[in-house]
């Protein structure tokens, strides 16, 4: 596949991944808003966590909701965005290195055992590119 097609596919996949994380964040906030309304309408519930032994009711969950959203939902969402960005950057670099192996560091040392596992030249280039990218990580 030509490099431009690979880059386009990476852009489409990355955009879809970002949309999915944003949807998760938005949908989770919507669930908390809906839950608040549901409790305000007089509904109740009790839940027990078998692992921790904690028990909560609807009012307890409402009190915890801001903490959960601010300390966990925002943090997890941000961490996921960072992970997606890192994946994008390294996939982007990998595409360029594999497309034109002359971009690979010419004096890079690679484990011979890794290279011997390659079945063809393209596999060998992928192994060397992965080795170089792993050093950057």
Tell me the whole-structure pTM to 2 decimals. Answer: 0.77
One domain, residues 65 and 24: yes
Domain span including residue 38: 3-85
Both tokens of 55, joined, read 């028990």
For every one of its 137 residues, what pLDDT tens digit does the chain have, with 9 covering 90 and above?
799 999 999 999 999 999 999 999 999 999 999 999 999 999 999 999 999 999 999 999 999 999 999 999 999 999 999 999 999 999 999 998 988 888 777 777 777 787 778 888 888 888 888 878 877 77
Is residue 95 situated within a structural domain?
no
pLDDT of residue 127: 82
- Strand pairing class (55-57; 46-48): antiparallel
pLDDT of residue 126: 82
Is residue 12 situated within a structural domain?
yes
pLDDT of residue 7: 97
Residues 6+ apart with CB under 8 A from 114: 127, 131
Three-state secondary structure along 39-95? HHCCCCCEEECCCCCCEEEHHHHHHHHHHHHHHHHHHHHHHHHHHHHHHHHHHHHHH
CA distances from 101 to 79, 122, 128, 130, 133 (A): 32, 10, 9, 12, 13
Both tokens of 112, joined, read 């011979």
One domain, residues 34 and 62: yes
pLDDT of residue 81: 97
CA distances from 5 to 10, 18, 91, 95 (A): 9, 20, 13, 10
Domain count, the chain: 2
One domain, residues 18 and 62: yes
Both tokens of 50, joined, read 């078998």
């Amino acid at each position: 596949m030509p490099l431009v097609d690979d880059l386009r596919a990476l852009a489409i996949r990355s955009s879809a991944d970002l949309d999915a994380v944003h949807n998760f964040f938005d949908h989770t906030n919507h669930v908390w808003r809906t839950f608040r309304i549901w409790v305000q309408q007089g509904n109740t519930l009790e839940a027990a966590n078998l692992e921790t032994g904690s028990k909560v009711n609807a009012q307890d969950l409402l009190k915890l909701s801001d903490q959960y959203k601010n300390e966990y939902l925002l943090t997890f969402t941000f961490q996921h965005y960072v992970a997606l960005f890192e994946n994008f950057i390294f996939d982007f670099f990998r595409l360029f290195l594999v497309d034109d192996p002359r971009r690979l560091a010419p004096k890079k040392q690679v484990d011979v055992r890794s290279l011997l596992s390659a079945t063809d030249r393209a596999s060998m280039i992928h192994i060397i590119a992965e080795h170089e990218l792993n050093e950057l990580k």
